[in-house]
Structure 1
C-alpha cells in the first residue's frame, strides 16, 4: 500500500493531453492528466470513462446530448459508446478512472493517441 499525494503527482509533469498512471484498482487505472484547449471527438466502444476535475474547469461536449461543464470537485461518467469532446479553456487538472484497456483517443488513432502510459 502506498498513499498518493495528487497535488505532488500533478507537479511532476507539464504537458497536456498526455495521461499518466497514478494507481490501479482491480481492472482500472487511476490516471492524472493536464488538459488545455480542445481534444478530438471520440467514443469508447467497450469502456465507461470517469472525469473528475481537481483544478480548473472542463467542458464535455456531446453530439447527442447537452454539454456539461465540470468545475473543481465535480465528476461525470461518460458511458461507453457516447461521442464526446473534452474542452478546457484554461489548464485543468483531471483524474480519469477507466478500465486499463481504455485508449485516450477511443475509436480513433492519431498523433494524440497514447498507448504506453508513463507511471508516476
Structure 2
C-alpha cells in the first residue's frame, strides 16, 4: 500500500481499457478500485457483498432487478450508489465515465452469477496500477 497520496486523475490517466478496474489502494479487506467505463457491462449479481459506486466523471446508469420489478438508477458526476448483495444489476455508461468502486478484495467484476461476458468486459478481481503498492507488493499493470 502506498504511503503517499494517490491522485485519482493520475491513476485514471495511467490506463485506457474500459470495464477493467485498477486497484488504487486497500482499506482493511476491501479494494478501492478505479475504472473507465462506456457502453454496457453484463447482468450480474454479487451473492455475498454489496457493491459501492462513486461517479468521478461522466454518468452511470445501473439497471436493477429487484423484488418489486426492474428499475434504473442514474448517477451523475459526484453521485454514489450501493447495489445490495444478491441484487442483479447491469451498469451502463452512455458517455465515457470514470468510477471509484469499493469491494472486498478478490471480488470478481462479473459477480458470482452473470450472463455471458462480452469481449469488452474484463472478468477480473482488479488489475495492478503502475507504480503503486498494495497489500502483497508493488502493482505493475
1:34-87 Cα shifts (integer Å, max 9, x gaps): 000001000001111100000000000012242100011111011110000000
Q: What residue in structure 2 maps to residue 69 of structure 1?
A: 74
The 1-side partners of 2:126 and 2:65 are apart by 29
In structure 2, the residue matched to 1:9 is: 11
Structure 1 unaligned blocks of 5 or more: none
How far has the Cα of 1:101 moved from its partner? 2.7
Equivalent residues in 2 for 1:7-46 (5 A)? 7-46=9-48
* 1:94 equivalent among 99, 117, 122: 99
Instruction: Say if 1:3 and 1:50 are closer, same or farther in 2 by CA, change over 3 A.
Output: same
How many corresponding residue pairs? 120
Shift of 1:102: 1.1
Provide the C-alpha distance between the structure 2 equivalents of 1:115 and 1:43, rounded to a whole number of angstroms.
14
What do you get for the CA RMSD once the two structures are aligned?
A: 1.5
Pair 1:114 & 2:124 matched: yes
* TM-score (structure 1 length as normaliser): 0.93
Residue matched to 2:109: 104
For normalisation by structure 2, the TM-score amounts to 0.80
Q: Give the 3-state SS of the residue equivalent to 1:88 in structure 2.
A: strand
For 2:53 and 2:126, locate their aligned partners in 1 and report how far apart those are by CA, in whole Å. Answer: 20
